[in-house]
Amino acid sequence: MAREFSWIRPEPWGIHVVPADCWIDPARPVDRALVTHGHADHARGGHGATFATPATLAIMKLRYATEEGAVAVPYGDRIELPGGVHATWIPAGHVLGSAQILLEHAGERIVVTGDFKRRPDPTCPPFEVTPCDVLVTEATFGLPVFRHPPVEEEVGKLLTALAANPQRCVLVGAYALGKAQRLIAELRRAGHRDTIWLHGAMERMCRLYEEWGIDLGDLRLVSDAGKQDLAGSVVLAPPSALNDRWSRRLPDPITAMASGWMRVRQRARQRMVELPLIISDHADWDELTQTVVDVNPAETWITHGREEAMLRWCELNQRKARALALVGYEDEDD
Amino acid sequence: MENFAALLDALVYTRSRNAKLKLLADYLRETPDPDRGWALAALTDGLDFPAVKSATIRNLLTERIDSVLWTLSREYVGDSAETASLLWPEPAEAPSPPTVSEAVDALSRMTRGNVMVELPRLLDRLDANGRYALLKLATGAMRIGISARLAKTAFAQAFSVAVEDVEEHWHGQTPPYAALFDWAAHGGEAPSSENLPLFRPFMLAHGLEDSEVDLADYAAEWKWDGIRVQVVHAGGETRVYSRSGDDISATFPEIAEALAINAVLDGELLVRGAHQGGEAGGAASFNALQQRLGRKTVSKKMREEYPAFVRLYDALIVEGEDLRPLPWARRRAALEDLVPRLDPQRFDISGVIPADDFAQLAAIRERARDDAIEGVMLKRRDSPYVAGRKTGLWYKWKRDPLLIDCVLMYAQRGSGKRSSFYSDYTFGCWDGDPDTGAELLPVGKAYFGFTDEELKWLDRYVRGHTVNRFGPVRETDKSLVFEVAFDSVHSSKRHKSGVAMRFPRISRIRADKPPHEADRIEALRALIRD
């Protein structure tokens, strides 16, 4: 008898679905790629065929001009791949278009979560618990010190700082795909109606979100602003621009960063952040462990992040687990 | 406790000194007694609670969470108190935080026998930031960049009192500093400091720049190249204080042992040698003194190899008489009377330079370069001894800096306002003939001496001439020459170049000069006077 789950093989550059000869989120060009979401470390250009949700494909078209060979698979559609493998894209709650991929073959079910979170996000449908034999999960925030506070609290901190400093602006470093739009949507939900100013690198993705029906309110580019316009405003920029030349044009900015890493003081200090906002698009420790409990798989495989602590938790809870040691997934800017 | 926790958090994330001062001053003004006193103690000296140690925190947590998970978390976060504050289970009920005083009171009553029960009770009343503040306060390791000096300055700012007065009244007071707050915040009587070996704020000098003074009004003294100290004997105890008011008695026990007369004396701490003054019984270079600095304990060998002594400049108090309001000339006379009664091995007097006029003094000072002393002090003969820098009373007239042409090699981003600018420069000299393939050897690092306009220009230059990046550091194409000014240069085993410069700064940007015309390392080595 074939070894259980031998039809799926983790390799350092991606997860190989052997009978279908497909790769999940491969780090190098392949003939057939199954992509969970549009972040650069998961979605790359140059594949023969790219299977992903319509929104993810729109993001990939924008970022990598991926058009040829794109196969759109709406959430919930069960498609047949070669070699008797079926695949279904299921919402992961991470960013617009993000999905877990359910693979079925020979009576076995494997779910690859990609990146995910369990908390509500106005910009994408919520994570769905999908029963399976093997759960292949991320563990970006796989340490018990990571417990993300409610997003309302963090947005409240931002608005308080804004109100207390009418002559300054709050410059928030946020990942250009997902974090930025979620933060804007959460600010709108909290009643903030003012213009939000964007670094140029943020614009196209925000427009794309709007095309997909997510209302982000009045957005304008910092390059079009007079210095007076920016006082008392929220300005969004990619984290790399926070302490660089670009930010010199801003009126005495309060440097903030929206990231799960902001939970740890030293990480915030390294980024020279004055106002850390603990807002993450990844599951925190409680969400990660609760997901294993909810899905209740026979085995848990951990793709990337702080695997050691997750392995230890599985061991303490008598759950079979292994670390896959995949390379190339970055988590620095979440 | 919430306000203290918020203060701690804000201080952690604030880099500018002025913003830190404002945060602290606002807290001290707005917080009631005795909370603010305890908070001040926690931020400066650290409070000591014998029952609560770092190991206590670990034990407390590993009772509640798997020890492997604790260790992994602690390694990632890098701080036990913070790790514990994040891992502690959130209380089921809304927190009811204790005041700082309540927390201090509870912590000081804890014993090793009950700490594992009592500390959790406090932690359960706090949120994550509160737990962090409590554990930091309990274990005394704040490490948030608040020096005693900064705290005193903030205290002065909070209550609009002079920082020199705060310095003077602070010593000898114990937390929660009731008398200190009563004096500053409520106009009460200043705390008494008699019979205590307290630090008195130093009188400081302005640079003379390009002006001249009349020697009929000013006395001239050598400015020795050691460290300025104050030696205080009172109530049977002696203390040696550094310029910042730090107690360095343990580092220089031979000085502390040598004074037995009730007095407060101002002088330069030096190590015996033949470099300064050029005669036997003179002082060694600053490099020799450096061997003695920063040590908590000092070996017999160290004491013998680098014997310390104090060359006295001034007397603030002698046998109960406060001489500070008197003119310099009267204090000088009192000092001259006192010195023969002191241990000659450990104390001598800094002589007055016999010059008839300024031109003659200038000539004497010019020769002083050879004697490796720092320069000349000019003191108004009728000046009282007042804390800080008061215009017109004392001047320092440093000898002209040494200059050398170096090539910019690496640039690093600054911090705070300069965080987007490449503002820290490492420069080098040629290790041989650059036209026959010699390499540059880094000889020093400087981050001041240029104007804001020049900084912008330098930042652009660095970005346009980068050949390599290492994190926040850029390696440049070694095409720009700096004229670097420095006070002296010493041999150093710690540097690859074998030399260490004192106070290097960018004197001029020599964009006009081709890099191969910059100086060679031999030119720098020739200036060493160890």
Q: What is the pLDDT along chain A (334 residues), one digit of tens a residue?
A: 446 788 999 988 889 999 999 999 998 999 999 999 999 888 888 899 999 999 999 999 999 887 889 999 999 999 999 999 999 999 999 999 999 999 999 999 999 999 999 999 999 999 999 999 999 999 999 999 999 999 999 999 999 999 999 999 999 999 999 999 999 999 999 999 999 999 999 999 999 999 999 999 999 999 999 878 999 999 999 998 988 888 888 988 999 999 999 999 988 887 889 999 999 999 999 999 999 999 999 999 999 888 999 999 999 999 999 998 776 665 545 6
Same domain, B377 and B311: yes
Query: With an 8 Å Cβ cutoff, is B12 touching chain A?
Result: yes
The closest CB to that of B13, out of A143, A263, A269, belongs to A269
Same domain, B411 and B265: no
| Ramachandran bin of A296, using left for φ above 0, alpha for ψ from -120 to 50, beta for the remaining angles | left
Query: With an 8 Å Cβ cutoff, is B339 touching chain A?
Result: no
Burial environment of residue A171 by CB neighbours within 10 A (0 to 12, 13 to 18, 19 or more): buried
Tell me, what's the pLDDT at B320?
Answer: 86
- Residue B418 in any domain: the answer is yes
Q: B408: closest CA among B443, B449, B363, B367?
A: B443
Q: How far is A299 from chain B (nearest CA, A)?
A: 21
Sign for the CA dihedral angle at B89, B92, B94, B96 comes to negative
Strand A32-34 to strand A22-24: parallel, antiparallel, or no bridges (unpaired)?
parallel
Query: With an 8 Å Cβ cutoff, is B455 touching chain A?
Result: no
Taking CB atoms and an 8 Å limit, are A306 and B76 in contact across chains? yes
Burial environment of residue A218 by CB neighbours within 10 A (0 to 12, 13 to 18, 19 or more): exposed
Compute the CA torsion angle A231, A233, A239, A242 (nearest 10 deg): 10
- Exposure string over A38-55, b if 16+ CB within 10 A, otherwise e: bbebbbbeebeebbbbeb
Same domain, B466 and B440: yes
| Ramachandran bin of A106, using left for φ above 0, alpha for ψ from -120 to 50, beta for the remaining angles | left
Same domain, B308 and B457: no
Mutate to test the interface with A, among B68, B75, B142, B460 (most CBs of A within 10 A): B68
Tell me, what's the pLDDT at B146?
Answer: 79
Q: How far is A35 from chain B (nearest CA, A)?
A: 31
Q: What is the ipTM of this complex?
A: 0.94
Q: How far is B77 from chain A (nearest CA, A)?
A: 6
Same domain, B122 and B159: no
How many residues does this entry show for chain B? Answer: 530
Residues ≥6 apart with Cβ < 8 Å to A4: A108, A133
| Ramachandran bin of A332, using left for φ above 0, alpha for ψ from -120 to 50, beta for the remaining angles | alpha
Query: With an 8 Å Cβ cutoff, is A269 touching chain B?
Result: yes
Tell me, what's the pLDDT at B285?
Answer: 73
Average pLDDT value for residue range B190-197: 78
Q: Considering chain B, what percentage of its residues have pLDDT values greater than 70?
A: 96
- Residue B192 in any domain: the answer is no
Alpha carbon distance A238, A172 (integer Å): 8
Taking CB atoms and an 8 Å limit, are A308 and B72 in contact across chains? yes
Same domain, B392 and B444: no
- Residue B196 in any domain: the answer is no
Q: How far is B13 from chain A (nearest CA, A)?
A: 5
Tell me the pLDDT band of B530, cut-offs 50, 70 and 90. low
What does residue B402 show for φ and ψ, rounded to 5 degrees?
Answer: -85, 150
End-to-end CA distance of chain B: 54
* Token pair 């230890």: residue: A312
- Which of A23-32, A266-275, B173-182, B335-344 bottoms out in mean pLDDT, i.e. has the lowest? A266-275
Q: CA-nearest residue of chain A to B83?
A: A145
Tell me, what's the pLDDT at B389?
Answer: 87
Residues of chain B with Cβ-Cβ distance to A275 below 8 Å are 13
Same domain, B11 and B127: yes
Residues of chain B with Cβ-Cβ distance to A266 below 8 Å are 77-79
Residues of chain B with Cβ-Cβ distance to A270 below 8 Å are none
Burial environment of residue A74 by CB neighbours within 10 A (0 to 12, 13 to 18, 19 or more): exposed
Same domain, B386 and B480: no
Taking CB atoms and an 8 Å limit, are A144 and B87 in contact across chains? yes
What does residue B416 show for φ and ψ, rounded to 5 degrees?
Answer: 60, -130
Mutate to test the interface with A, among B20, B26, B76, B422 (most CBs of A within 10 A): B76
Catalytic residue chosen out of the listed positions B20, B136, B223, B478? B223
Number of domains forming the structure of chain B:
4
Residues of chain A with Cβ-Cβ distance to B12 below 8 Å are 265, 269
| Ramachandran bin of B100, using left for φ above 0, alpha for ψ from -120 to 50, beta for the remaining angles | alpha
CATH top-level class of A8-145+282-323:
alpha beta
* Chain region(s) in chain A for CATH 3.60.15.10: 8-145+282-323
Same domain, B284 and B243: yes
| pLDDT reading at B346 higher than 90 | yes
Residues of chain A with Cβ-Cβ distance to B459 below 8 Å are 245
* Chain region(s) in chain A for CATH 3.40.50.12650: 151-277
Token pair for B82: 């913070």
Q: How far is A253 from chain B (nearest CA, A)?
A: 11
Taking CB atoms and an 8 Å limit, are A313 and B69 in contact across chains? yes
Tell me, what's the pLDDT at A221?
Answer: 97
**Which of A41-55, A178-192, B246-260, B428-442 reaches the highest mean pLDDT?**
A178-192
- Which of A91-95, A283-287, B342-346, B495-499 bottoms out in mean pLDDT, i.e. has the lowest? B495-499
Same domain, B365 and B420: no
Tell me, what's the pLDDT at B280?
Answer: 44
- Alpha carbons within 13 A on the beta-carbon side of A70: 21
Same domain, B262 and B368: yes
Domain with B366 in it: what CATH number? 3.30.470.30
Alpha carbon distance A68, B261 (integer Å): 92
- Exposure string over B256-280, b if 16+ CB within 10 A, otherwise e: bebbeebbbbbbbbbbbbebbbeee
Query: With an 8 Å Cβ cutoff, is B471 touching chain A?
Result: no
Query: With an 8 Å Cβ cutoff, is A253 touching chain B?
Result: no
How many residues does this entry show for chain A? Answer: 334
Mutate to test the interface with B, among A141, A143, A271, A313 (most CBs of B within 10 A): A143
Q: How far is A309 from chain B (nearest CA, A)?
A: 6
Annotated catalytic residue B223:
yes
Question: From residue B43, how far is each of A275, B133, B176, B198 by CA, in Å?
Answer: 21, 11, 12, 21
Tell me, what's the pLDDT at A329?
Answer: 66
Mutate to test the interface with A, among B11, B67, B72 (most CBs of A within 10 A): B72
Taking CB atoms and an 8 Å limit, are B76 and A308 in contact across chains? no
- Residue B320 in any domain: the answer is yes
Question: What is the tens place of the pLDDT at every residue in B282-322?
Answer: 777 777 787 888 787 888 998 988 999 999 999 999 998 99
Query: With an 8 Å Cβ cutoff, is B415 touching chain A?
Result: yes
Alpha carbon distance B445, B422 (integer Å): 13
Contact A132, A111 (CB under 8 A): yes
Residues of chain A with Cβ-Cβ distance to B15 below 8 Å are 272, 274
Q: B329: closest CA among B404, B432, B412, B221?
A: B221
- The CB density around residue B30, as the number of other CB atoms within 10 Å, is 10
Tell me, what's the pLDDT at A1?
Answer: 40
Same domain, B394 and B407: no
Alpha carbon distance B197, B245 (integer Å): 12
Query: With an 8 Å Cβ cutoff, is A268 touching chain B?
Result: yes
Three-class secondary structure of residue B263 per DSSP = strand
Query: With an 8 Å Cβ cutoff, is A148 touching chain B?
Result: no
Token pair for A141: 């925030």
- If you write DSSP's letter for every residue of A216-236 in order, what string do you get? ---EEEGGG--HHHHTT-EEE
Token pair for B124: 């359960």
Tell me, what's the pLDDT at B274?
Answer: 66
Alpha carbon distance A182, A162 (integer Å): 18
Tell me the pLDDT band of B416, cut-offs 50, 70 and 90. low
Tell me, what's the pLDDT at B342?
Answer: 96
The closest CB to that of B14, out of A147, A265, A274, belongs to A274
* Token pair 């549009």: residue: A38
Taking CB atoms and an 8 Å limit, are B419 and A263 in contact across chains? no
The CATH code belonging to domain A151-277 is 3.40.50.12650
- Residue B145 in any domain: the answer is no
Average pLDDT value for residue range B6-11: 92
Q: Tell if the pTM clears 0.90, that is, is over it.
A: no
Residues of chain A with Cβ-Cβ distance to B66 below 8 Å are 312, 316
Taking CB atoms and an 8 Å limit, are B72 and A266 in contact across chains? no
Tell me, what's the pLDDT at B369?
Answer: 56
- The whole domain housing B117 covers 2-139
